[in-house]
Structure 1
Amino acid sequence: MKRRFTILILLAVQIVCSQTKDKTADVLFDKMYYIEAARLYEISIKNGDVSKEILQRAGDAHYFNTQMENASKWYGKLLAEYPNEVSSEYYFRYAQSLQGIKNYELAKKWMVNFSEKKKSTDSRAQNFSLKKVTLEDIKRIKPHFLLENLEINSAYSDFAPMFYKDNLVYSTSSDSSFIKTANYGWNDQPYLKLQLGKISPSQTNVTFKERFGKEISTQYHEACVAFSPDEKTIYFTRNNYNGKLKRDSKGVNNLKLYSATATEGDNGTVKWGNVKELPFNSDSYSVGQPSVSKDGKKLYFVSDMPGTVGSTDIFVVDILGENQYSNPKNLGDKINTSGREMFPFITDLALYFASDGFLGLGGLDVFESRLTDGVFDDPANLGAPLNSSMDDFGFIIREETNKGFVCSNRNTGKGDDDIYSFERSCAQSVEGYVFDAVSNNKIPGAIVTLKNSENETIEQTVSKIDGRFEFNDNINCNTTYIIEGFKDNFKPASKTVIIPSNSGITEVPIGLDPALIERKDGILKIKIGIILFDLDKSDIRYDAAIELNKIVLLMTQYPNMVIKIESHTDSRANDQYNLELSDRRAKATRDYIISQGIAPERIESAIGFGETQLLNNCSNGVPCTEQQHQVNRRSEFIITKIQ
């Protein structure tokens, strides 16, 4: 089982348990020396100590190193022995560890239990409530990433790649020094350093070139870098170190962001100097994992600073120059959850990041939030094989080539964390729903047709009980389609959809208007045949009743519908006479509808307007044809309320 070495650089670990009787193990645990702490806790358990605290810490020591089989073992025993005494966080961790060993059915059960306990206070509960996206939905995502393990990966931890010229800068704990450095107690590996690798012409492999940034290297951790667009400024993550390590009031050495500028030496060599600590760092919280926007104006990063929604959040600042930055801004609850969001990578098209706060396949999954008019869309899980039951993170991509790199500690790798190259194929599907455009109710049983831009039918389906439909097999990227919806008693509707050039799901809602309802100038009206009356009379004729019964049926189908009735005449005959006749006819129409079982309060008014609202110029004394006069003789049924 791979160890989660990069949790150090992933920043915060939320500890929710108290001290145990094994003080030696607790000291090691508090120093994040989890391998040795786990061994001592398990000795205590073997000797008969199965207290809540010891089981919690045994599980946590393995969980924080991604030893999910052992973590699930001790969490399972913890929840069996103390189901009502532990924090709901352990329901979440147990579910995550079960996902890590691909026991998805049991993981789903415990995630539902977590959701029931935390739904009012924890965004992860809402994300895992299985209402919007289910685990089955994620497992059904079409594979559109082809991954290859890189030559540079070692038996240690290799992660956090970043493009630099035609090369790749990455972080590694592989000890490349002549004299072995001290190891980090978390997992007994050397401290992280930066390496430079040459990207192959195919962009599918990377070969080691040399150590990178020796001028900014210390005896502790340097990792997770980003570059300005001109590549003359580097932003990097380092321990809070300036000659010696600084710790906060709890004894924790936090992480900080630093910048350095490039100077070009002989033979095109680059040296990094003028190292500056960024002004929004703090001794009391961590800041790291930078990503710079393509225009060089914004810096995204991860922190657990005050204002953080979960364990770690993604923030952004404006880069103002001269080591000046705006105040950090949290990206908000669309991106950040009560869990961990980390490793942001921003492009012109999207924000990519890792999270365990949204529904995923286990551990950290990579998510994509498309950028639309400067606003981030809801994050979408990128599915397998990019994501796995383990931690997947550190995603970077060149959008123009659809090639990039991602990190994972999945069991098929060479070491703890490995870097994989990938090529993203474009896999698109069209999903949506058919709905009543008047009531917004979903419409099952509608025929939905997929057509090409030449109006030729490609595929046809029927909307489900919840109105949803999908086309998965015939969708090409960067292509225009027409989606048509049809249902009896509704007007057909269609939408033209341009499928983007990147993989994903294109959502297409199709609204159908009831056949008897028309929209005009923002007003909804019931459209039926002409209501005819005998000369000088207001009695409802048989043929008029047939038309009015359509209104009765429609109002029965829409029980919240309220209408008003307006009756009009042409300009022939006396003005006052026409006004009185039209009013009698409006009220006779109202009375007939009520007589058929429609509640009186659902007819807001019934008023005759005579010849005061003519639709053409056929006023008094103007010669007009019978057809022109007929336009003005009408009854209108205006919908004032539908829901």
Structure 2
Amino acid sequence: MNRSRILHFLLILVFVLTGVSASLAQDQQVQKGDRLYNNKEFAAATYYYEKYLENSEDVKIKRKLADCYLQIQKDTEANYLLENIASSSEANAEDYLHYANLLKRVRNYEKAKVFFKKYAELKPEDSNVSKLILSCNLIKELQDDHLYSIKSLSINSPQSDFASAFYKNGLVFVSGRKNNTSKQIDGRSGEYFLDMYFSEKSGDNYLSPEPFSDDFNTKYHEGPACFSSNEKFIFFTRNKGTLNLEGKSELNIYTSRHNGTDWDKAEIFQFSGQTYSMGHPSISPDGRHLYFISNMAGGYGGTDIYVCLKSGFSWSRPINCGPTINTDGNEMFPFIAEDGYLYFASDGHIGFGGLDIFKSIFEQNEWTYPVNLGPPFNSSKDDFGYLIRKNKEVGYFSSNRNGSDDIFEFKQNPEKIQNLRGRLLASTNKSALKDVEVILMENLSKEKSTLTDENGLFSFDIFKGKNYSLIVSKPGYKIKRILYFAPDEQTTPKQLNISMDTIHWVKFKGNIIDQFSAHAVEEASIQIINQTYKSNSFCVTDEYGDFEQEIDPSKAYDIIIQKDGYFTKVINNYKYQSAKFEQIELQKFSTNQDMELYGVEYDAGSWELKENTIMELNNLAGLLKVNPHISIEINGFTNQDKGKKENNIICEQRAKTASEYIISKGITPNRIQYKSAGYNSGRSALVVKLTEAF
């Protein structure tokens, strides 16, 4: 072999070995990237995927890199990759969906609708896509009317910062800035592990933040937190620091008491530490309701909002807030305000993109349909962490609209505020009416209420250019709804002079007794809801179980009667007939109490629901709907012995089918368990056991 041929052979060998080496290096880059990606260390994984794609057009790796960019909020980079993927011949339905969601997020709504429709063509069974298309149209309706001014707080850092809770004269917030407790970088975000900080407000500014507590901040993630109204108790989120069998680090809620000098050692909340996450706590002003998020089994989607009810020193097990609040997406960052409104972030309800902030209130024993707060609170990015004081003049929310998560303060724009005045007069003699209740409503949402003074006068601060309605009510007079249509913003509204016609009101009297003992039920609350105006009045039974409330006899009412330890009772469409004394029975409950559904009927060996069984289950669903604090177990029986194995199959299917029917009526799955109880000739085919009752 001559020298030239040897040289040629060696060059070929070098090229082959170089190619093999390059291929091995690329394989290692993918392996390292995948390991980090699977561990959700997205920021670290991007480096290896980017290096690999310098010499490859692998669509699978492009998808993973695009997901990394989305997770760490690099929208520009994600947009380039997803556009490339969506226009390729290898694009699938999920590619169209991801690209459409990103287009919506960057406010390209018309193009987003195009790709949502492409996705719908390939996935017609996904009913959620119609909501996504509708949300693109919604953006045009909810424009910023500049009723509030917002500003980014000076305490924000280049890392993630988001509001958590009011505390003393300042804010407790969560941040991924450099700190002394967690010196390592979180590979998922590329930032330091989250800690809690406190910043005191001085005038219109916030002072330099300090770590909230060295006892609470650890090398793991801490926050967000909330405080009891007296600020003696804290509830906060912390991750375990250890991984479960799926390789995930779950979130837990911890609680601590302030002993007057310092905080006691934090203890895990009783329902945490399971195979699911619990976090983002918010406690009600009365300390009786703790709201939080969880991905526990029996929910509706990724994370749902739950509530635990306190009775004495005990907490009920978590109760899902139901399908009105929760969706198949993620509900997060609940905040229960002093006026009873629940504010939360969601990517499942119709919104602008990412997380949007919504509000709902628990009225007439159920949550109202959530209202999107619109701009400036919501944007095409993630908006969350809403906080507001009772006066509603100043509040806070968090958003990544400028890149990383930042805290924003909002205030009512004084240029958009004007005063609406009115006077209530008797139509007969034009005399001033004192103590008329005046409720200011906006889009069927109660905003404010007041009573007229001795001159019959009232006033509200309202936003210019907005339409409202007023509901005026006083015993002995006909309830009225007044529609207020806003004049030109430059025009000062004239005083409203409202006359009220007299009408004979009657005294609705009644007596509440225990169903079994016939003893009087003292301090039961009676809520009387006018069906026409949705206005409420309240009264409480005395030591004899008696109550009395004046009502307009021409109207229909819904009546809700509640007492701790008893099933809530609802009387719908009540119409006053006569002055007779209404006697109403309440049924006491206790855990492990059995209720036999005697009306259920099954054919031998069958679990098919018959008409009578459906009627019984409808009654049970109604009971659970008006008693959201109750959980049950449905036990299936058979009165025909076909052998243990066959009996268990029949009984379990009866219990399962019954529970599925109850769930179909809007009862959350985590409130219902079922099991086979086997053969028993003396029991009803379905027996309901109360497993939780607060």
SS in 1 for 2:171: strand
**Is residue 29–residue 48 contact of structure 2 (8 Å, CA) maintained in 1?**
no
**After superposition, what is the alpha-carbon deviation per residue over 1:270-323, rounded to whole angstroms, capped at 9, x for unaligned?**
x2114211122244221100111121111111111112212211111113454x
Q: What TM-score results when the alignment is normalised by the length of structure 2?
A: 0.55
Aligned match of 2:255: 259
Give the whole-Å Cα distance in 2 for the aligned partners of 1:118 and 1:220: 40
Aligned match of 1:368: 359
SS in 2 for 1:196: strand
Give the whole-Å Cα distance in 1 for the aligned partners of 2:67 and 2:135: 29
Aligned match of 1:37: 45
Deviation at 1:186, TM superposition (A): 1.7
**After superposition, what is the alpha-carbon deviation per residue over 1:228-248, rounded to whole angstroms, capped at 9, x for unaligned?**
1221110000011xxxx3211
Deviation at 1:120, TM superposition (A): 5.0
**Is residue 163–residue 169 contact of structure 1 (8 Å, CA) maintained in 2?**
yes
Aligned match of 1:136: 140
SS in 2 for 1:421: strand
Give the whole-Å Cα distance in 1 for the aligned partners of 2:352 and 2:129: 16
Give the whole-Å Cα distance in 2 for the aligned partners of 1:23 and 1:497: 66
SS in 1 for 2:53: helix
Residues 1:317 and 2:313 are matched in the alignment:
no
Question: Structure 1's 261 and 321: CA in aligned 2 closer, same or farther, altered over 3 A?
Answer: farther
Give the whole-Å Cα distance in 1 for the aligned partners of 2:312 and 2:178: 36
Aligned match of 1:197: 199
Q: How does 1:192-591 map to 2 (within 5 A)?
A: 192-202=194-204, 205-240=205-240, 245-265=241-261, 271-320=262-311, 322=313, 324-347=314-337, 348-411=339-402, 416-424=404-412, 474-475=465-466, 496-497=482-483
Give the whole-Å Cα distance in 2 for the aligned partners of 1:55 and 1:289: 33
Higher alpha-carbon deviation: 34-43 or 153-162: 34-43
Question: Structure 1's 275 and 97: CA in aligned 2 closer, same or farther, altered over 3 A?
Answer: same
Q: What TM-score results when the alignment is normalised by the length of structure 1?
A: 0.59
Deviation at 1:495, TM superposition (A): 5.4
Q: Who wins on radius of gyration, i.e. which is larger?
A: 1
Give the whole-Å Cα distance in 2 for the aligned partners of 1:499 and 1:352: 28
SS in 1 for 2:242: coil
Give the whole-Å Cα distance in 1 for the aligned partners of 2:385 and 2:177: 18
Aligned AA (2:407)? I
Give the whole-Å Cα distance in 2 for the aligned partners of 1:221 and 1:172: 10
SS in 2 for 1:136: helix
Question: Structure 1's 224 and 194: CA in aligned 2 closer, same or farther, altered over 3 A?
Answer: same
**Is residue 386–residue 395 contact of structure 2 (8 Å, CA) maintained in 1?**
yes
Give the whole-Å Cα distance in 2 for the aligned partners of 1:298 and 1:20: 51
**Is residue 397–residue 403 contact of structure 1 (8 Å, CA) maintained in 2?**
yes
**Is residue 100–residue 113 contact of structure 2 (8 Å, CA) maintained in 1?**
yes
* Unaligned 5+ runs, structure 2: 1-26, 417-421, 428-462, 473-479, 487-531, 533-553, 556-694
Give the whole-Å Cα distance in 1 for the aligned partners of 2:363 and 2:123: 32
Give the whole-Å Cα distance in 2 for the aligned partners of 1:117 and 1:377: 34
Deviation at 1:91, TM superposition (A): 3.8
Question: Structure 1's 60 and 132: CA in aligned 2 closer, same or farther, altered over 3 A?
Answer: closer
Identity over aligned residues, as a percent? 32
Deviation at 1:162, TM superposition (A): 0.6
Aligned AA (1:128)? L
Deviation at 1:496, TM superposition (A): 3.1
**Is residue 342–residue 360 contact of structure 2 (8 Å, CA) maintained in 1?**
yes
Aligned AA (1:496)? I
**Is residue 246–residue 283 contact of structure 1 (8 Å, CA) maintained in 2?**
no
Deviation at 1:400, TM superposition (A): 1.4
Give the whole-Å Cα distance in 2 for the aligned partners of 1:91 and 1:311: 21
**Is residue 104–residue 136 contact of structure 2 (8 Å, CA) maintained in 1?**
no
**Is residue 182–residue 219 contact of structure 2 (8 Å, CA) maintained in 1?**
no
Higher alpha-carbon deviation: 31-40 or 144-153: 31-40
Aligned AA (2:300)? V
**Which residue, 188, 195, 202 being the options, matches 1:186?**
188
**Is residue 291–residue 300 contact of structure 1 (8 Å, CA) maintained in 2?**
yes
Deviation at 1:425, TM superposition (A): 5.4
**After superposition, what is the alpha-carbon deviation per residue over 1:462-511, rounded to whole angstroms, capped at 9, x for unaligned?**
xxxxxxxxxx9743668569xxxxxxxxxxxx9534899xxxxxxxxx9x
Question: Structure 1's 131 and 391: CA in aligned 2 closer, same or farther, altered over 3 A?
Answer: closer
Aligned AA (1:319)? K
Deviation at 1:169, TM superposition (A): 0.7
**Is residue 79–residue 86 contact of structure 1 (8 Å, CA) maintained in 2?**
no
Give the whole-Å Cα distance in 1 for the aligned partners of 2:415 and 2:74: 33
Paired residues, number: 417
**Which residue, 70, 73, 84 being the options, matches 1:66?**
73
Aligned AA (1:318)? L
* Unaligned 5+ runs, structure 1: 1-18, 266-270, 429-450, 456-471, 482-493, 501-509, 511-520, 523-643
Give the whole-Å Cα distance in 1 for the aligned partners of 2:211 and 2:91: 52
**Is residue 236–residue 259 contact of structure 1 (8 Å, CA) maintained in 2?**
yes
**Is residue 127–residue 359 contact of structure 1 (8 Å, CA) maintained in 2?**
yes
Task: Give the number of the structure with larger relative contact order, counting CA–CA contacts within 8 Å between residues 6 or more apart.
Answer: 1
Aligned match of 2:172: 169
Question: Structure 1's 476 and 125: CA in aligned 2 closer, same or farther, altered over 3 A?
Answer: same
Aligned match of 1:24: 32
SS in 1 for 2:140: helix
**Is residue 182–residue 190 contact of structure 1 (8 Å, CA) maintained in 2?**
yes
Aligned AA (2:232)? K
Question: Structure 1's 166 and 125: CA in aligned 2 closer, same or farther, altered over 3 A?
Answer: same
Aligned AA (1:219)? K
Give the whole-Å Cα distance in 1 for the aligned partners of 2:276 and 2:401: 29
Question: Structure 1's 108 and 424: CA in aligned 2 closer, same or farther, altered over 3 A?
Answer: farther
Question: Structure 1's 453 and 142: CA in aligned 2 closer, same or farther, altered over 3 A?
Answer: farther
Question: Structure 1's 335 and 211: CA in aligned 2 closer, same or farther, altered over 3 A?
Answer: same
**Is residue 119–residue 126 contact of structure 1 (8 Å, CA) maintained in 2?**
no
Question: Structure 1's 25 and 477: CA in aligned 2 closer, same or farther, altered over 3 A?
Answer: same
Aligned match of 1:16: none
Give the whole-Å Cα distance in 1 for the aligned partners of 2:317 and 2:123: 31
Coordinate RMSD, CA, aligned: 3.7
**After superposition, what is the alpha-carbon deviation per residue over 1:103-125, rounded to whole angstroms, capped at 9, x for unaligned?**
12112323344556667555x43
Question: Structure 1's 182 and 262: CA in aligned 2 closer, same or farther, altered over 3 A?
Answer: same
Deviation at 1:129, TM superposition (A): 4.6
Aligned AA (1:69)? T
Aligned AA (1:187)? S
**Is residue 216–residue 272 contact of structure 1 (8 Å, CA) maintained in 2?**
no
SS in 2 for 1:263: coil
**Is residue 324–residue 369 contact of structure 2 (8 Å, CA) maintained in 1?**
yes
Question: Structure 1's 391 and 55: CA in aligned 2 closer, same or farther, altered over 3 A?
Answer: same
SS in 1 for 2:308: strand
Question: Structure 1's 65 and 425: CA in aligned 2 closer, same or farther, altered over 3 A?
Answer: same
**Is residue 282–residue 290 contact of structure 2 (8 Å, CA) maintained in 1?**
yes
Aligned AA (2:200)? K
